[in-house]
Structure 1
Amino acid sequence: MKDTRKVARLAILISLGAAIYFLENLIPFPVPVPGGRWGFSNMVLLISLPGASFTDILILSAGKNVLGSLVSGKIATPGFLMGLFGVSSSAALMWLMSRAKIFGLAGISVAGAAVNNLIQLSIAAFYVVREPGLLGLYPYFALTGSLSALINAYIAFKVLERVGDFHWRWK
């Protein structure tokens, strides 16, 4: 029974993340940088951190990316692969930070966004476009990514607070 609940919980969270992934494509991105996205689908990762295993977090991050890319028609594109590596790396970091018990949701979310942006830009700069100067866009991505990460952290904080699974300090 426990495994069934775990699978159902992961399926619901993956579906929610994929739906948000799809919907955030409809919201214009305020900064004119190529490939810029809001990153609101990463909120499901923050909500899942308490009690989730490392494997669960990686499955969730990959699952929402794959399903969201399938629905939005971006599967098997360079952007899809960049997103998959970026979100998996940031999910791993966020899980590790959550286990340290010294970081709040805001710090974890901003660090996850920073790693996600750095991984994606690095892949674009060195493997897709092959122009290292592309890394010069990182400050713009870091600024907008931090804003999005703080919004995600606040919403995740409120969700966790309401469902009673809250043990975070707000930092």
Structure 2
Amino acid sequence: MNNKVAKFAILISLGSAIYFLETLIPFPLPVPGGRWGFSNMVILISLPGVPIIDLLTISVGKNILGSLISGKIATPGFLMGLSGVSGSVVVMWYMWKTGIFGLAGISIIGAAVNNLVQLTIAAFYIIGDFRLFELYPYFFLTGSISALINAYIAFEVLKRVGGSLWQRK
């Protein structure tokens, strides 16, 4: 149990630190709150061997702590991000469970779902303008770039730890 709590703390802390640092990297689209999504690599690293509730805990924890650190807690962007990451985590977990998809495919689909959920919330509840969906191709392109970077880093980390952070060595 202590081992699991320590891993949660490390992954949430790492995700939160990356979440904050990525706010300092210029985003190529002039979109308020636009971020690269590099903090989602902790989700990819956590996929092998973890139940979905633990994966959701890690993703929600990193978003809450990262938003607290960056001063964006309880903003529309925070709520959109929390919804997007929760939706994408569910899809990514199911994709991993099928055993058909690799980390790159899971990461790209996760980014696509995350962006789609966020745009849906913005279009329906925040802005009220469905023309926001015209931005989706741009989000898909930038999200795919960061998703591939995340997948590569996660692959390298998992290769070095033997395939799973959750198995006892």
* TM-score, length basis structure 2: 0.94
The sequence identity of aligned pairs, in percent, is 71
The alpha-carbon deviation at position 30 of structure 1 amounts to: 2.0
AA at the equivalent of 1:81: L
Shift of residue 26, structure 1, vs aligned partner: 0.5
Partner of 1:21: 19
Please state whether the residue corresponding to 1:155 is helix, strand or coil: helix
How many residues align? The count is 164
Query: What is the identity, as a one-letter code, of the residue corresponding to 1:35?
Result: G
Aligned partner of 1:72 in structure 2 is 70
CA distance in 1, matches of 2:35, 2:70: 13
2: CA distance, partners of 1:22 / 1:92: 24
How many angstroms apart in 1 are the aligned matches of 2:156 and 2:110?
Answer: 19
Q: State the shift of 1:158 in Å.
A: 0.7
Q: 1:90 and 1:131 mapped to 2: Cα distance?
A: 23
User: Residue 49 of structure 2: SS of its match in structure 1?
Assistant: coil
Partner of residue 61, structure 1: 59
* Deviation (angstroms), 1:131: 0.7
How far, CA to CA, are the matches of 2:119 and 2:33 in structure 1? 10
CA distance in 2, matches of 1:103, 1:115: 15
1:124 alignment partner in structure 2: 122
State the secondary structure of the residue aligned to 2:160: helix
Aligned with residue 85 of structure 1, among 78, 83, 86: 83
Return the alpha-carbon distance in structure 2 between the equivalents of residues 93 and 135 of structure 1.
Answer: 20
The CA deviation string for residues 34-63 of structure 1, in whole angstroms up to 9 with x for no partner, is 332100000000000011111110000100
Instruction: Give the Cα–Cα distance (whole angstroms) in 1 for the partners of residues 149 and 30 of structure 2.
Output: 20
Extract unaligned runs of 5+ from structure 2: 165-169
Shift, 1:157, TM fit = 0.6
Aligned partner (choices 128, 137, 154) of residue 152 of structure 2: 154
- Matched residues in 2 for 1:65 and 1:114: separation? 18
The one-letter code matched in structure 1 to 2:51 is S
Query: Given the two structures, how large is their TM-score scaled by the length of structure 1?
Result: 0.93
Superposition RMSD on alpha carbons, in Å?
A: 0.9
Residue 72 of structure 1 aligns with an amino acid whose one-letter code is S
